[in-house]
Amino acid sequence: MDYSNTTDKVNNWFDSNLDKIKEGANTELDLRVFSALIYARKYFNATMKLLESEHILPTKALLRVMLELYIKLAWCMTQGSNDKIYLRFRRWDYSRLKEQRKQLQKVDAEKYPEKDNAITKITTMINNLKGEGLKMMPDFSGLIRDLPPDWDTYIYAELYLDFNQAIHSDFRILHELVSHDKDKNEITYRHDIDYDPNKLLRYCISMCNDINIIIKEHYAWNIEKQQKEYEQICSL
């Protein structure tokens, strides 16, 4: 499948926002927004390459990562004032560091000699943020509940569960790919699961559109051109 025209248009959305932020960036918040856009752009392009190669399960795995980024970014950016937005980004930092420390504490020190030093460094950063009175960010369902009431948030929970199957080994799905003919003692397998790639494409483009619109609205940039292009893509 050739999605090159669509890929170019969406990359232009990202690049336009990134260029504008680079021109006027002067706060830590600008840098956080810039980083989130870079992250989303990379995952978008990787997703499109997988879709072009018709790799459905890996595509769903990347979309799960994009969905989490999108919801976290929306949770931060829909707060109104810059101070409130930046505070949520700091809570994001705090939660990420605590999760990293939790995972490090489970590692065998004999297999990872730097464990204690790594935990000490992370703990220092955690304590600095804790001194600011920060709280952990909510779990995914909590993030969705905190989004503006006019958002159709039910779809995010549905997609999260769907995409999760591609990240966490689901032997029910794996079993669908493999069949065993006991009489012939033959094992056969299919290339991938049955899932409409165009549906995955729409999910991907929709998230990228929303991410870039959120940024444009934050900086009070015009959104009409992008919205028209998005509608054109959806009509294909």
Q: Please give the full DSSP string across 157-212, using - where no structure is assigned.
A: HHHHHHHHTTTS--HHHHHHHEEEETTTTEEEE-SS----HHHHHHHHHHHHHHHH
pLDDT the model gives residue 157: 83
C-alpha to C-alpha distances, 21 to 27, 33, 71, 72, 210, nearest whole angstrom: 10, 8, 21, 20, 17
pLDDT the model gives residue 191: 67
Which H or E run contains 42? Answer: helix 28-52
pLDDT of the chain along its 236 residues, tens only?
678 899 999 999 999 999 999 998 789 999 999 999 999 999 999 999 999 988 888 999 999 999 999 999 999 999 889 999 999 999 999 999 999 999 999 999 888 899 999 999 999 999 998 888 889 999 998 999 998 888 777 788 888 888 888 887 666 766 777 776 677 777 766 666 778 889 999 999 999 999 999 999 999 999 999 999 999 998 87
Instruction: Assign 123 to helix, strand or coil.
Output: helix
Which H or E run contains 113? Answer: none
pLDDT the model gives residue 163: 87
pLDDT the model gives residue 179: 72
**b/e code 149-165 from CB counts within 10 Å (16+ = b):** eeeebeebeebbeebeb
**Backbone torsion region of residue 54, taken as left when φ is above 0, otherwise alpha when ψ lies between -120 and 50, otherwise beta:** left
C-alpha to C-alpha distances, 147 to 114, 164, 181, 231, nearest whole angstrom: 39, 21, 50, 24
DSSP state at residue 63: H
Q: What is the dihedral of CA 25, 83, 214, 167, to 10 degrees?
A: 100
